[in-house]
Amino acid sequence: MIKKLILVFFIISTSTFSQYNGSKFSFGVNTLYTTTSKVFLFPNSSDEILRNTSNDIDNIFDYGAEFRYRFSEDIILGLNVEYMRATQTGTNITGFAGNSTVSIKAEDGFEVIPVELSVYYVLPFSTEHFKFLMGGGGAAYFGNHIRKIGTVKVNNISRDFAYGIQVSVSMEYLIMSHLSIQAGLKFRDPEFRVTSQYTSKSVLVGGKIITFPQDRFNSRINIDGITFMLGVYYNF
């Protein structure tokens, strides 16, 4: 009896229900939370310990938008764009006050725009109102290093093109025929390198003029945490 009920449910899920009530397109906005990221301040150091030393920036909130096209009943194509910005205060930067070496506090972090192209598969046990999706694809990442010490900031003068893959699992609930909410997880590991330059060679801190040891510096940024997603989609 149980096997017959499971078979009936499977047939209904895969045959009777028209995915998204026949809508071919959807547009959604998402709020995203990423657990961890790292900023490596000495990525080219010959010292392995110094090269792998990082400032961790956790609990990152950002937002994004996605356009989807339903290629078939089971396959959906998606183009997603996000904007992520994360900084923290208290990063120690070495400088010179006359002949003395001093440590000054800086606001340090990054901003990045992920552009992701995904293919989603609507899992067979989806129902008329609940859609379960598994997806993945490629991504390009455009990022900058952010640093501020007093009135001095940095300009990014060069950056590597960063790309990678990402996979996701999500569930959509259709509130009505053209409106749905989504919750899910995304797994990715974007990393990019940046060369930056201070807008000034020195800064006034606590009445002292602090000179930076380098006019230009390199950094490596890695966003290695799990991303949680919550969004609203309009289907049309």
Mean pLDDT across 157-178: 92
What type of residue sits at position 204? Answer: L
Q: Collapsing DSSP states into helix, strand and coil, what is residue 20? A: helix
Could you identify the residue written with the tokens 């920036």? 57
Phi, psi of 57 (to 5 degrees): -120, 115
Domain ranges for the chain, please list them. Answer: 2-235
User: Which helix or strand (DSSP H or E) is residue 233 part of?
Assistant: strand 227-235
Phi, psi of 59 (to 5 degrees): 55, 65
89-104 tens-digit pLDDT: 988 888 898 888 998 9
Question: Per-residue pLDDT for 39 more than 80?
Answer: yes
What's the CA gap between 104 and 34, in Å, rounded?
A: 28
Higher-scoring residue by pLDDT: 12, 207:
207
Is 45 exposed, middle or buried (CB count within 10 Å of its CB: 0-12, 13-18, 19+)? middle
> The domain 2-235: what is its CATH number?
2.40.160.20
74-128 tens-digit pLDDT: 999 999 999 999 999 988 888 898 888 998 999 999 999 999 999 999 999 999 8
Mean pLDDT across 18-34: 87
Q: Collapsing DSSP states into helix, strand and coil, what is residue 48? A: helix
Beta bridge partners of 28: 66, 233
Beta bridge partners of 81: 65, 115
Q: Are 230 and 183 in contact (CB under 8 A)?
A: yes
